[in-house]
Every structure is written in C-alpha cells, then in structure tokens.
Structure 1
C-alpha cells in the first residue's frame, strides 16, 4: 500500500473537486430536464476545466514537494531540468 501524502494544497484541490462534482450533478439534472445542448456543453466544459486545474495542482504539488527535494541536493543542471519540467506541465 502507498504511504499517505497530505500537502498544504490538498484541501484546496478537494474543494475544487467537490465543486466540479456539484457542477457535474447539475449537468446530469440539465440533461434529465432536456435542457439545450449548448447549455449542457458549456457546463461540461466548465467541469472539464475544473478537473484539469485540479490535476495540474496535484502534479505541481508533487514536483514541489517530492522532486524538488531531490533536485535541491543535485547540480544546477538538475534544478534547471525540474524547473523546465514544471514549465511544460502547463500544457497538460
């Protein structure tokens, strides 16, 4: 079993995911109420973006707390590589 990792940003991520879950429940209700496809698509887009933002926070948090420790003891090249990797994650 993996060890537990609670970082400072986890409560914020949980809050974002709960909000996305609420929006997703709203989408389901909209579909059951036969709302317009455009409205449903807009709400689905919002849910997708919220989940994507939460995923990025998890990845950045991992980099900051798990990989940064390794990089800080390494060479400048290693720290530079981690910084570059952080930059590229914005495209996830």
Structure 2
C-alpha cells in the first residue's frame, strides 16, 4: 500500500508531524534544563497526540481510497480482505 496523499491531506499530515517534531525538541530541551516533571509530561502528551493524529489521518485516507476502490468493483474479495486486514493492523498499531 503506497502513501498517496492529495495536496490538502499531505499539508495537514506534514503540519501535524512538524508540530510533533517541535514539541519533541521542546521536551528534550526541557529535560536538559531540568524542568518540572509535570510540564515535561504535558509536552510529551501533546507530541504523542500530534503523532497519533498524523497516523490516523494517513489511515483514514487509506480507508477512503480502499472503500472507493471496492465500490468500483475493482479487485477480488481476497484483495479487499487483505487490504482491510492491513488497515486494521495499522489502525491498531496506533491504539
């Protein structure tokens, strides 16, 4: 399964990943500075949410494409089942 995101979808995912990257850099800096544990955990949680949202956006796009492909009658039932199983595995890996 290739990662094939359209313009707006791609920008959204990249923005989320850049946000997470900045938050992780901030967490590293906070730890190096000896900042309060609660502040560090709050930033880690924010970075985790940003990564989760990026992953879910990628999976949602895959699901949309999979449903569109299955609605057009392309591919066998086994192909659809394999795609469903792979998307389910990906989704659960983020849960």
Q: Offset of 1:3 from its aligned partner?
A: 5.9
Q: TM-score, normalised by structure 2?
A: 0.70
Equivalent residues in 2 for 1:1-92, closer than 5 Å: 5-8=4-7, 9-65=9-65, 67-74=66-73, 92=95
Give 3-state SS (helix, strand or coil) of 2:67's partner.
helix
Which consecutive unaligned segments of at least 5 residues does structure 2 have? 78-83
Q: TM-score, normalised by structure 1?
A: 0.72
Q: CA RMSD in A?
A: 2.8
Q: Offset of 1:70 from its aligned partner?
A: 2.4
User: Is the contact made by 2:16 and 2:54 (CA closer than 8 Å) also made in structure 1?
Assistant: yes
Aligned equivalents of 2:19 and 2:37: distance in 1?
22
